[in-house]
Amino acid sequence: MSFEKIGRYKVIAELGRGGMATVFRASDPNFEREVAIKVLPKAFLHDPQFRARFEREAKLVATLEHSAIVPVYDFGEEDGQPYIVMRLMSGGSLEEKLKNGRLSLDEAANIFDRLGAALNAAHSKGIIHRDLKPANILFDQYNNAYLSDFGIARLSEGSQTLTGENIIGTPAYMSPEQIQGDKNLDGRSDIYSMGIIFFQMLSGKTPYQSTTPAKVMMMHILEPVPNLLEVRPNLSQAVEEWLEKILSKEPDDRFSTADEMVKILHSAISSKNQETLEIKTDAKTIISGRDQFQTVIEQTKPATQETIPQSPI
């Protein structure tokens, strides 16, 4: 395939190369707009698993049609090489933003608002992303966040994984159950990954770091969650407790839905504790913070007696 033209699209520049795709900036003569084109590398053309993953992404995103998910405009092949045409995200990625420093609580919450809604839409259709990370969170020219890269998403119980029995994902952001190869993952695995991203947005680094990916994965399973207040003491205990719940080792101990996760975050932020716990860390204050967090949880629970986690269809 010529990198001067892909289908009807005229290539302007290469935007980046990832593990399973090269992304180009291009112009669409039919609609007189710029787009992003993701191309499957030639090295993977004869790998049925990678090809299926690539094609599945286009189909999955097309079924979602959500305002916070990068939309797919077109899908095709040229010289046997498949490509996906998407909206061009000119604001860069969250990964790039974090290179300039950590974010404020309000900035992180605004990102969570949009991504939580996107995940809720995906999970409601039985779609689990499975590779949430800053590189897959993109921004438009107005700084609105979008979810992208559904290449390893799982659609249904009938297709447990697109890469056989191998563990796939990004170690720094994987849930304990994903690391352990659980074939019955649900949306709570994505919620855990969002918790890792939240910790990174506020602290500037991921909570679990080591010398090898294998060691990082073991830390997700065995190590307690680092205290975010140690690096951001101005946060409330209610926010810290919210994060601890998201990063629980057991899925049953996390929030059931992305919508619940976002609602309780805003309740924790707006709580009186947000101001009173800026510098206090004594035992009495911490206990007060835990009591308040439980109050926040109770106030945002639905009226039903039991919340059943949503599983993929």
Kindly list the catalytic residues.
131
Assigned token pair, 205: 């680094």
CB 107 within 8 A of CB 201: yes
CB 94 within 8 A of CB 103: no
Report the distance separating Cα 286 and Cα 236, nearest Å: 10
Q: For residue 167, which phi and psi values (nearest 5 degrees)? A: -80, 125
Q: Angle of helix 187-203 relative to helix 258-270, nearest 10 degrees?
A: 30
Report the distance separating Cα 269 and Cα 92, nearest Å: 27
Q: For residue 81, which phi and psi values (nearest 5 degrees)? A: -105, 110
CA angle centred on 235, ends 229 and 237, rounded to 5°: 75
CA dihedral (10, 15, 16, 20) in degrees, to 10, reads -40
Beta bridge pairs of residue 39: 22, 83
The amino acid at residue 290 is: R
At a CB cut-off of 8 Å and minimum separation 6, what does 247 contact?
192, 195, 196, 199, 207, 225, 254
